[in-house]
Structure 1
Amino acid sequence: MKRSVRFPVSPTLLRRLAFASIIANVAIVVTGGAVRLTASGLGCPTWPRCTDESYTTTSEMGVHGVIEFGNRLLTFAVGIIALAVVLAVLAQVPRRRGLLPLAVGVLFGIPAQAVLGGITVLTDLNPWVVGLHFLASMVVIAAAYALWRRTGEPDGPVTPTVPAPLRTLARITTVVSASVLVVGTWVTGSGPHAGDQGAARNGLDPESISQVHADGVFLLIGLSVALFFAFRAVGASRAARAAGVLLAVELGQGLIGFVQYFTHLPAVLVAAHMLGSCLVLLATLGVLWATRERQPVSPPAPAAPAAEPVGAAA
């Protein structure tokens, strides 16, 4: 019987592909923001076609059509990277536990995102749908990050690296971080960057919802400071470094947020703030990961030699 040929993939290559998937998914968030910030959200006025007659942009649609269609094309590039990760996981010898569900989740999250993007176009950039589209991207990025971290871990059991109360505090910080992202989409939906001249806003008062968002950011920074000093107090240096990175990212993101608010939301700062949102998410997950680790699987103990029967012949 003919045996199938397999091409094993090194752990290093798999880890690099997983990291490339994170970068690609962050990039498509930023380019999606560029579509909105250049008022190109309806550059292709329908979906899945770009026009009723064509799947591609036409010269009559101008630069807005090119920008929107270019962002749609980038989805294929992100999908190709995700597919490469899945194939790399399947080719591993031996195959690592838990990697395939994450890789498949990232892969299928990309066409799901494309469908959500299409719904935003078909609903004339409804701000609530646009916000959901962004948050779904955050879920895909989180899955891509989990996959990348998992590729660098052994297959053994998970053990905590900090006391239980600090693990709980890290989880609370993660929830608050996610809440800040959600409220941030409400702020965006109330502001001037609708993605198209005729797109509606969500009707929330921009000043009031921005204050709610700022309050959430202050809470998140306070929790991050608490984590940093608490991790240092218990000697969890890896977790303390992760909390320090999170705090630095939050302060940078907060500075951009305040400057953009008081300078009436210039497009370049809004784009930087969207990138910062992705970095805050990744840094938050880094803290969560630093509160636990996987131990290598212990090799099975060698079997004891059988005892010689009493009275056996020499």
Structure 2
Amino acid sequence: MRRILGAPVLLRRLALASLVANVVLVGTGGAVRLTGSGLGCPTWPRCTGASYVTTSAMGAHGVIEFGNRTLTFVVGVLALACVVCAYYQRPRSRPLTLWSVLVLAGIPAQAVIGGITVLTKLNPWVVALHFLASMAVIAAAYQLWVRTAGAPAGATLPRPLAALPRLTAVVTVAVLAVGTIVTGSGPHAGDAHARRTGLDPQEISQLHADAVFLLLGLSVALWYALRAVGAPTAARRAAAWLIGVELAQGVIGFVQYFTHLPILAVGLHMLGASLVWVAALAVLETTRPGAPATAPAAPAQARPAVLTPTS
């Protein structure tokens, strides 16, 4: 049994499953809000005052909300399995143990914030914190998955360029944070009686759009810079993927704005936010300090001739 649990391939698959499950959890959380099921279970940790599970009296909203709570247990089981498998790795890896424990610790923390969300009747600021907590867990799950392949080589970038990936990640966080405020100011509150932030949705949406354009500009600049310095292929590919995901997310954002926030478009936009975050994490990972970047080859005419003795 120890040999099975200590198999590196098992841990890698579990880590990937954990990462995917946490992204899906964000999607199901969005479905809870978009269907008006945010208070389908009006209390926490119970679903009702007398039951931990939904009842027929709660109707479809209760089923949707309880389903999202159930998925939290699935995510927790995957996180626990990762901790166990990381413990049995030989030789034992400190990073694997650390990241697996962080993912596991993040699940109940996220659940508690979700409970506070219910107890505060979907306070929009607590809802925003709940989403950002999910992003933190996804970041830890991504790091765990990456580390299951061993320590990445990374890249050594010129000093002026080295800060650009970190700046891109910081702006990504800002885009996600402002996006939660847009959500908290819009019509999809999760319940007909839930309060809103009181901020002007048009003004907050404009601020969000400005931050998105800044992020896209930084991402394009990063991609060109990485090509110019001959950065490793993994780094250039990660930057290209980030741009692609941002463009797709931007299209969905414009569609939902000009079509007056249909539920399907808003749901896809929430899921897309998680994918943008994962893509930004990939850029950070592939550009972190490590092995020297591959220098571009010198032009053929610039190479000195090499004389060889003749027989």
- Length-normalised TM-score, structure 2: 0.90
From 277, 284, 290, give the equivalent of 1:288. Answer: 284
Match of 1:111 in 2: 108
Look up the SS of the partner of 1:160 in the other structure. coil
Q: Aligned residues, how many?
A: 289
Are 1:204 and 2:186 an aligned pair?
A: no
Summarize deviations over 1:54-110 as a string: whole Å, max 9, x none: 111111110000100111111110000000000000011111131111111100100
Paired residue for 1:234? 229
> Are the equivalent residues in 2 in contact too, given 1:39–1:196 (CA < 8 A)?
yes
The 5 Å alignment of 1:105-254 reads: 105-154=102-151, 160-236=155-231, 237-254=233-250
2:63 is the counterpart of 1:66:
yes
* Structure-2 residue corresponding to 1:303: none
The CA distance in 2 between the partners of 1:265 and 1:159, in whole Å, is 41
State the alpha-carbon separation in 1 of the partners of residues 23 and 49 from structure 2. 30
Identity of aligned residues (%): 66
Q: Deviations over 1:268-299 (max 9, x none)?
A: 0111001100000000011111113667xxxx
Deviation at 1:235, TM superposition (A): 1.0
Query: Using the alignment, how far apart are the partners of 2:70 and 2:234 within structure 1?
Result: 39
- 1:33-52 aligned within 5 A: 33-52=30-49
Deviates more, 1:95-104 or 1:56-65: 95-104
| Residues 293, 172 of structure 1: alpha-carbon distance in 2 compared, 3 angstrom cutoff | closer
The answer to whether structure 1 residue 57 and structure 2 residue 54 are counterparts is yes
Shift of 1:14: 1.1
CA contact (8 A) 2:156 2:290 kept: no
For residues 11 and 229 of structure 2, what CA distance do their matches in structure 1 show?
34
Return the alpha-carbon distance in structure 1 between the equivalents of residues 258 and 202 of structure 2: 11
Which runs of 5 or more residues in structure 1 are unaligned? 296-314
Task: Deviation per CA, 1:169-215: give whole Å up to 9, x if none.
Answer: 11000000000000000000000000001001000100000000000
Are 1:153 and 1:294, in contact at CA under 8 Å, matched by a contact in 2?
no
The question of whether the paired residues in 2 share the 8 Å contact of 1:18 and 1:147 is answered with: yes
What letter is aligned with 2:6? Answer: V
Q: Which amino acid aligns with 1:224?
A: S
1:255 counterpart = 2:247: no
Cα-to-partner distance string for 1:248-275 (whole Å, 9 max, x where unaligned): 0000001100110110100001110011
State the superposition RMSD in angstroms.
Answer: 1.4
How far does residue 239 in structure 1 lie from its aligned partner after superposition? 1.2
Q: Partner of 1:267 in structure 2?
A: 263
Amino acid at match of 2:156: T
